[in-house]
């Protein structure tokens, strides 16, 4: 659970006419999201000079607007509100009647007078997430440490023959990836391979176990044209370069012996044009949608003019979009004996859904139902880059986290917060405020199961991000190929990397290592963030960082407070402080995001469990530590 941060952190702004704070138990209790039918007490401060005669709680719920009179209690006005019976996002603000007119208390402002908007307008309302009381998330997610693998680049088993392929296979594991546009296709085709495979992953299970890994997330492993395999050719078979279905079953079985589960990437918003379903390239013997309007797959795709004009993902012609709610497609993916069930029965423990915010509600409803019917303890993890509780797509407020669709999401907001904090773009107080808001918006079981990461296959490597004073993502791809950190840049970047990883491991959620981050692998955007793992060329800094991650894994296993304990977060003298507590054990994580050495806010005698860089009684700049207090 999340507990309100100490009241001293939430003093009202001076000269505030009206004030409400979602993070303080003084103004909202209980904290955060609530279950359907649960009661929450809401309070608002109205300054004496306002001479308020009446105060109303203005609520938008069940597609209706309601006003509830509030009662004066000292300098506060309060109202007990009972959440609706149906899961939804409830929006509220306060209407304060004064002799001079109406004052509105809403987010981001202590008070606002004048003309009020006639609708909920998210930016002018506080959010209250109301979720299904039956909503549960597998416990192993909150307890877990995840490791994300881009299969072609992790490890190539020397005991397994390279499967059939038609594209370029690098002979040297340490070669530069291809990155220039294909002269025929007109874009980077991602059709060069290094030959990483499932048997290679299986051989590295002892290494992963040493890191404390309990969950493997594999980028797409199904047959496809490209090395990233987001252009699915067949959902029914493992890509031959990676191995076979028996190889996947073997990986899942042997991973379980190490206490590790495997989840797979589900790419269900589009297929490849080079697929048995579309078959534009004629690779398959099937009659694909591109080949004939009479194809059994024709209804899966949307053609403006057959056959060359069709809806495709982000205007990439080799990624034709599917009609996810087409009955035939829906049954093929989510039906009994469909793709989702097939691979769960083969041994995987869940699905990560690519571009989940581009999947319609009906599809997500059906997919979750099939997953939980097949294995109630399987995970449904969605890719959403924003706050998933109030995400708007398809011109509608989505219901990802209310209990009927996703178990959890990739925590891109946290990554942005961590980088902003340690890069000096924001400060500890702002971080605490943003994190608390996210924790308030997410149901607690979701927040404690979020995939918390510093890098993925879609963003720059964290070491490169911290090493350069500019945003590498803004650099053209051809120039990114030559970007390397200098010795000083790399040393500073790794120090910041350690501070950031300690912070991530201290928070509720499932810490995730993107393969190679623990070895300080550098890289910009795609494809430079997908370099082969440098097994045979790790330097002392890389090995030391790997050992750091082993220590973090051991620390998280040793202290349940870091996995399931209560959380409080606040700023103190420029430092970010996070307190986790469980069964009487209290841990305090301290992060110094500044460029100056700062005194510790705890007694020097407090045992230091883990420290990125600290001196006696002080914490170094751009550093972090955990103490037992």
Give the catalytic positions in this structure.
354, 383
Query: In whole angstroms, how large is the CA radius of gyration of the chain?
Result: 26
Helix, strand, or coil (residue 396)? strand
In sequence order, the 6+-apart residues with CB closer than 8 A to the CB of 321 are 269, 270, 301, 302, 310, 311, 312, 313
Long-range CB contacts for residues 435-439, cutoff 8 Å, separation at least 24: 435/507, 435/569, 436/2, 436/5, 436/22, 436/23, 436/569, 437/22, 437/23, 438/387, 438/413, 438/414, 439/2, 439/32, 439/508, 439/567
Structure tokens at 566: 């209560």
Consecutive H or E run containing 506: helix 487-506
Structure tokens at 190: 């991602």
What is the Cα–Cα distance from 320 to 305, expressed in whole angstroms? 14
Consecutive H or E run containing 419: helix 412-422
- Reported as half-sphere exposure (CB side, CA atoms, 13 A), residue 276 has a value of 9
Parallel, antiparallel or unpaired: strands 350-353 and 379-382: parallel
Q: By the 8 A CB rule, do 386 and 437 touch?
A: no
Nearest to 217 by CA among 161, 275, 150: 150
Q: By the 8 A CB rule, do 519 and 533 touch?
A: yes
Instruction: Using CA atoms of 235, 241, 245, 246 in order, give the dihedral in degrees to the nearest 10.
Output: 180
Q: By the 8 A CB rule, do 456 and 148 touch?
A: yes
Structure tokens at 116: 């009020």
CA angle 587, 589, 595 (to 5 degrees): 160
The strands making up 261-266's β-sheet, listed across from edge to edge, are 408-409, 379-382, 350-353, 261-266, 215-218, 146-149, 510-514, 451-453
Parallel, antiparallel or unpaired: strands 379-382 and 408-409: parallel
Helix, strand, or coil (residue 481)? coil
């Amino acid at each position: 659970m999340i507990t309100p941060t100490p009241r001293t952190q939430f003093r009202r702004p001076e000269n505030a006419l009206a004030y409400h704070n979602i993070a303080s138990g003084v103004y909202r209790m209980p904290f955060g999201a609530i279950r359907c039918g649960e009661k929450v007490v809401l309070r608002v401060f109205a300054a004496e000079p306002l001479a308020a005669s009446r105060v109303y709680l203005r609520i938008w719920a069940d597609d209706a607007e309601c006003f509830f009179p509030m009662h004066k209690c000292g300098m506060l006005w309060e109202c007990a509100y009972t959440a609706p019976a149906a899961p939804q996002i409830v929006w509220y603000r306060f209407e304060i009647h004064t002799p001079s007119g109406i004052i509105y208390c809403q987010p981001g402002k202590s008070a606002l007078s004048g003309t009020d908007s006639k609708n909920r307008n998210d930016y002018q309302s506080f959010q209250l997430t109301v979720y299904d009381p039956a909503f549960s998330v597998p416990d192993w997610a909150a307890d877990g440490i995840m490791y994300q693998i881009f299969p072609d680049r992790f490890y190539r088993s020397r005991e397994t023959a390279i499967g059939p392929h038609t594209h370029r296979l690098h002979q040297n594991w340490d070669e530069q990836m291809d990155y220039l546009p294909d002269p025929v296709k007109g874009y980077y085709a991602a059709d060069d391979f290094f030959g990483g495979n499932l048997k290679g992953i299986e051989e590295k299970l002892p290494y992963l176990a040493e890191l404390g890994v309990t969950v493997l997330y594999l980028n797409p492993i199904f047959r496809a044209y490209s090395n990233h395999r987001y252009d699915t050719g067949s959902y029914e078979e493992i890509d031959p370069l990676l191995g076979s279905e028996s190889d996947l079953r073997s990986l899942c079985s042997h991973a379980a012996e190490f206490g590790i589960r495997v989840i797979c990437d589900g790419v269900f918003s589009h297929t490849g044009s080079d697929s048995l379903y579309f078959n534009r390239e004629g690779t398959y013997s099937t009659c694909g949608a591109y080949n004939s309007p009479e194809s059994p797959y024709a209804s899966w795709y949307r053609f403006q003019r057959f056959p060359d004009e069709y809806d495709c993902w982000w205007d990439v012609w080799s990624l034709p979009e599917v009609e996810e709610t087409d009955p035939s497609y829906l049954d093929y993916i989510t039906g009994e004996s469909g793709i989702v069930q097939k691979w769960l029965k083969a041994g995987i423990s869940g699905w990560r859904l690519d571009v989940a915010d581009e999947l319609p509600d009906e599809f997500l409803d059906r997919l979750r139902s099939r997953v939980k019917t097949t294995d109630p303890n399987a995970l449904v993890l969605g890719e959403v880059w924003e706050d998933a509780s109030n995400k708007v797509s398809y011109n509608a407020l989505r219901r990802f986290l209310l209990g009927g669709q996703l178990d959890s999401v990739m925590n891109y907001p946290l990554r942005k917060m961590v980088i902003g904090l340690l890069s000096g773009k924001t400060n500890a107080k702002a971080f605490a405020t943003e994190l608390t808001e996210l924790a308030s918006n997410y149901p607690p079981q979701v927040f404690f199961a979020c995939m918390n990461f510093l890098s993925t296959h879609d963003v720059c490597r964290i070491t490169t991000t911290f090493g350069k004073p500019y945003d590498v993502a803004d650099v053209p791809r051809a120039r990114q190929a030559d970007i390397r950190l200098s010795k000083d840049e790399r040393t500073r970047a790794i120090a910041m990397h350690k501070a950031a990883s300690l912070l991530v491991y201290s928070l509720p959620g499932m810490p995730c290592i993107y393969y190679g981050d623990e070895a300080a692998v550098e890289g910009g955007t795609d494809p430079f963030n997908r370099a082969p793992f440098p097994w045979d060329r790790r330097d002392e800094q890389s090995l030391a960082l790997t050992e750091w991650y082993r220590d973090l894994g051991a620390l998280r296993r040793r202290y349940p407070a870091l996995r399931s304990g209560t959380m409080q977060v606040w700023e103190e003298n420029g430092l970010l402080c996070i307190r986790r507590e469980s069964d009487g054990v209290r841990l305090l994580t301290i992060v110094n995001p500044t460029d100056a050495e700062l005194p510790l806010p705890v007694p020097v005698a407090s045992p230091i469990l883990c420290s990125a860089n600290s001196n006696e009684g002080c914490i170094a700049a751009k550093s972090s530590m955990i103490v037992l207090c």
